[in-house]
Amino acid sequence: MIRHVVLLQISGSVDRTECRNVLDAIAKIASNTPGMLSFAGGANMPGSGLNQGFTHCFTIDFVDTKARDEYLERLDQDETCWRLTDITVGGLGGILSMNLDLGDQKS
């Protein structure tokens, strides 16, 4: 299983409705991708003080890298990826994305 983790620095000048619309579009694309297992995301909660300017995040679990790659292609097809870069600080510079192989996780 692959966990796709994305941290976002949303610009303070972005309308909250637009931010929600972009995140909803991402969730919709993910949920319509075969092999997607779960989606969770939203605004950072206060508390740790270690967010380094990242204001929002989301995670998506996929059965494998093929499903994750299909999701990424779908982001490009309807330009949701560009809507995301439009609302982040510095465009791609305001996005941090990582992928974890959960097959090696210990509980």
Q: Can you give the pTM of this predicted structure?
A: 0.89
Closest CA to 89 of 5, 7, 1, 9: 9
pLDDT for res 78: 79
pLDDT at 85 over 80: yes
Give the pLDDT mean for 52-61. 94
Tell me which residue range forms the domain holding 25.
Answer: 2-100
pLDDT at 107 over 90: no
What mean pLDDT, rounded, does the chain reach? 92
pLDDT for res 20: 93
The domain tally of the chain equals 1
Q: CB atoms < 10 A from the CB of 82, how many?
A: 11
In a domain, 16, yes or no: yes
DSSP string for residues in 70-85: HHHHHHHHTTHHHHHH
In a domain, 18, yes or no: yes
By the 8 A CB rule, do 44 and 56 touch? yes
Residue with tokens 């941290």: 7
CATH number at residue 36: 3.30.70.100
In a domain, 8, yes or no: yes
In a domain, 105, yes or no: no
Q: Residue 81 CA to chain centroid, in angstroms?
A: 10
In a domain, 27, yes or no: yes
In a domain, 106, yes or no: no
pLDDT tens for each residue of 3-52: 999 999 999 999 999 999 999 999 999 999 999 999 999 999 888 788 89
In a domain, 107, yes or no: no
